[in-house]
């Protein structure tokens, strides 16, 4: 199991980014969270199999149809193993 933190820049707030990210992550069997940040970005924390995490990263580079992703910062971290679902947080 691995963990990734993503910081997604662009037009990503108010375009269903969080909800669709949660749906994509859940389909991939990932646990974690997604939230809007004060600087206008979206932050994703996800844990699971490396292949599934890489698929989520690829999806986050596109996002939902109304989004415009300018950059995705990727930070690989040590998995905590204590996450049980994928949630939208505030």
List active site positions. Answer: 18, 36
What whole-number distance in Å separates Cα of residue 35 and Cα of residue 45?
A: 9
Which helix (H) or strand (E) element contains residue 7? strand 2-11
CA 34 to mean position of chain CA atoms: 6
* Residue 54: burial class (beta carbons within 10 Å; 0-12, 13-18, 19+): middle
Q: Nearest 5 degrees, angle CA 5-CA 68-CA 62?
A: 60
């Amino acid at each position: 199991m691995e963990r990734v933190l993503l910081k997604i820049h662009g037009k990503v707030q108010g375009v269903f980014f969080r909800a669709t990210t949660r749906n994509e992550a859940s389909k991939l069997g990932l646990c974690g969270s997604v939230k809007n940040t004060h600087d206008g970005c979206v932050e994703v924390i996800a844990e699971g199999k490396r292949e599934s995490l890489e698929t989520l990263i690829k999806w986050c580079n596109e996002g939902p149809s109304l989004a415009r992703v300018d950059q995705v910062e990727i930070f690989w971290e040590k998995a905590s193993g204590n996450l049980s679902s994928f949630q939208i947080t505030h």
